[in-house]
Amino acid sequence: MRIDGKLLDLAREVPEGTTPEPVTIDSDDGLSILRHSAAHVLAQAVQKTNPDARLGIGPPIQDGFYYDFDLEEKFSPEDFKGLQQEMQRIIKSGQRFVRRVVTEEQAREELADEPYKLELIGLKGPNAEKAAEGASVEVGAGELTIYDNVDPKSGDTVWKDLCQGPHLPNTRMIANGFSLMRVAGAYWRGKTDRPQLQRIYGTAWPTKDELRAYITRLEEAAKRDHRKLGRELDLFSFPEEVGSGLSLWHPKGAVTRGEMEQHARKRHIERGYTYVYTPHITKSDLFETSGHLQTYGEGIWPPILMDEERDDEGNITKRGAEYYLKPMNCPMHILIYKDRARSYRELPLRFAENGTVYRNEFSGALHGLTRVRGFTQDDAHLFVRPDQIEEEVTNVLGFVIDLLKDFGLTEFRLELSKRDDEKEKWIGDEGVWTTATDALRRVAQSSGLEFVEEEGEAAFYGPKIDLKITDAIGRSWQLSTVQLDFNLPERFGLEYTAADGSKQRPIMIHRALFGSIERFFAILLEHYAGAFPVWLAPVQAVGIPVAQDFAGYLEDVAAKLRMRGVRIEVDHSDERMQKKIRNHTMQKVPFQIIAGATDVEAGSVSFRYRDGRQDNGIPVDEAIERIVEAIETKAHV
């Protein structure tokens, strides 16, 4: 149940004067509670079958859960059958999850054999999530609690865990909609100098049918994995010689990326944006002023010492300066604004840049193009007057949605991210944050889109609206972000001259449309399973002669298409025609143009599409218009 916005176990007492709201198991909160309870059952099963296993952390995650274990014996997928049987036995026994408030001393005494739990005890409040990702499910703000798994027949506690809860009333509610998925390594508290634990991932759903549907989605997702498609379609690579999380774009991938960037650039200019360019590296002073070094230090690459001078004996005669690869573009855009005096008549001022940034991601977190160390943001920063905020954010949101529709995305929803309760996680004045959050809320409400509010998910300098999309197989992705920022203009002393001649502070709007171009490319690649719409396809058409004698005829057709801006190749290889058709079908080329003696005589071609359909005897001029129209209308054939 939920009381005054807080999730509580059903067994908790309802305070007088309050009205509990039901939380159903198929809601987002209900699914998290189901999965967190399943994680406890997994941990209990592991310790039943492996008494020497020591417990790490076991939070719910998107579509599932995990639990970390310290055990000398290595888990393998072959162990999952036995673990799942033990989990099913625990589930069928109907053990009750019983919450118990304890002191730190009691917790340390009861969990004396769990060294990782002992580390977490006392890390309450703002230190909880710092302890490790997911640690807030164990220790958070407020009371320290242990959850006992109680046998319903004997009343005995058969297992316990340090946990904030809440949980299901009993294990039977987990039913049979769960499965263990995989095992991986995970450093304790995410630090490479700490022990590496074994992380078992699982999933849990209200019913067996929903579990089967999820497994089917995973199988489809594996076929669409952008890393696999990137290799098969020769789009990009990650050579060891370059380094982890740094991508090389091959010609075909670069073509599609270029089309994405050029289309977005054209639309931005139409909307009154001006493009700027900034360097990849800057002195530390800039990020000290912005606050990034203080609040985002772990995500920034180590500094490079420059301009230091020494004498012949090695003594420093001139102190150097520390330079950083930029993790953000915004401080440099601020300096462009600040370079000269600004008038209220210039606002809103909209700077855009495809700026490459660098983040110091852990190697274990890297994942193809979706999580990299060097990536390009389609970044924009807008400087507005206070009276322009809502209108400009509304325009930005409408622009974002229109542009994403150009790429074939149609399902959108919003998430309003608010500041954390802990002051050290954000900067600025509380009243300013409230004003900014209220403005974003009104914009979200007026958009007509579904939206939710999330506590503690804002950037350190201001609240934000995140736009999420649903792809072709039902997965949710976060893309565009619109963030209000009253704080960086204050830190950098930004001003404009108002109509009355006074100096006023502008408000800054941070806005990324794709998020990162690399990640957006990966999402589109998986959304379309590699079969891009014609306008984005690296090769839009390929000519396939029935015999080599007809290759010259197709070259003439290709020349006409190139004059219309079509990316076309003619296959002159020695392969048989059917093999050529198969090869280019595997490469997901939208149009295959086939010509033989009959076509040459009639001045026509035959079309073969990616799905195997074929249209024969199409006059050349009509064929050209058909392809050009598909490109111009952004059709998917």
DSSP string, 139-157: S-SS-EEEEEEE-TTT--E
pLDDT class of 132 with cuts at 50, 70, 90: low
Residue 135 near residue 57 (C-beta atoms within 8 A): yes
Q: Half-sphere exposure of residue 3, counting CA atoms within 13 Å on the CB side?
A: 14
Closest CA to 325 of 369, 363, 355, 365: 355
Q: β-strand 496-497 against 503-504: which pairing, if any?
A: antiparallel
Q: What is the mean pLDDT of the chain?
A: 91
Query: How far is the C-alpha of 521 from the C-alpha of 376, rounded, in Å?
Result: 11
Torsion angle of alpha carbons 212, 213, 214, 215, nearest 10°? 50
Give how far Cα 256 sits from Cα of 234, 235, 586, 615, Å: 12, 9, 17, 27
Environment class of residue 144 by beta-carbon count within 10 Å: exposed (0-12), middle (13-18) or buried (19+)? buried
pLDDT class of 139 with cuts at 50, 70, 90: confident
pLDDT class of 126 with cuts at 50, 70, 90: very low
Query: How far is the C-alpha of 174 from the C-alpha of 85, rounded, in Å?
Result: 14
- The two tokens of residue 255 are 């073509």
What's the average model confidence in pLDDT over 271-294?
93
pLDDT class of 473 with cuts at 50, 70, 90: confident
Cite the active site residues: 330, 359, 377, 379, 381, 464, 510
pLDDT class of 308 with cuts at 50, 70, 90: confident
Report whether the peptide linkage leading into residue 166 is cis, meaning its omega lies within 30 degrees of zero. Answer: yes
SS3 state of residue 551? helix
Q: Looking up tokens 């799942």, which residue turns up?
A: 84
Residue 546 near residue 596 (C-beta atoms within 8 A): yes
Query: How far is the C-alpha of 303 from the C-alpha of 284, rounded, in Å?
Result: 8
- The two tokens of residue 297 are 């230090």
| pLDDT at 556 > cutoff 80 | yes
Per-residue pLDDT, 603: 95
Per-residue pLDDT, 317: 86
In the chain, pLDDT over 70 holds for what percent of residues? 97
| pLDDT at 430 > cutoff 80 | no
How far from the centroid of its chain's Cα atoms is residue 328's Cα?
Answer: 17
Query: How far is the C-alpha of 435 from the C-alpha of 442, rounded, in Å?
Result: 11
- The two tokens of residue 422 are 């802990």
- Containing 81, the helix (H) or strand (E) segment is helix 80-93
Per-residue pLDDT, 436: 82
Burial string for 237-259 (b: 16+ CB within 10 Å, else e) reads ebeeeeeebebebeebbebbbeb
Give how far Cα 268 sits from Cα of 261, 263, 357, 440, Å: 10, 9, 20, 22
pLDDT class of 395 with cuts at 50, 70, 90: very high
SS3 state of residue 242? coil
pLDDT class of 333 with cuts at 50, 70, 90: very high
End-to-end CA distance of the chain: 49
Per-residue pLDDT, 133: 64
pTM for the full predicted model: 0.82
Q: β-strand 248-249 against 236-237: which pairing, if any?
A: antiparallel
Residue 168 near residue 97 (C-beta atoms within 8 A): yes
Query: How far is the C-alpha of 498 from the C-alpha of 496, rounded, in Å?
Result: 6
Which residues, 6+ apart, have CB-to-CB distance to 617 below 8 Å? 598, 599, 602, 604, 606
Per-residue pLDDT, 623: 95
pLDDT tens by residue, 506-527: 999 999 888 899 999 999 999 9
| Residue at 260: amino acid letter | M
Give how far Cα 482 sits from Cα of 144, 459, 607, Å: 37, 11, 44
Burial string for 472-500 (b: 16+ CB within 10 Å, else e) reads ebebebebbbbbbbbbbbbbbebbbeeee
Q: What is the CA radius of gyration of the chain?
A: 29
pLDDT tens by residue, 63-119: 999 999 999 999 999 999 999 999 999 999 999 999 999 999 999 999 999 999 999
How far from the centroid of its chain's Cα atoms is residue 165's Cα?
Answer: 26
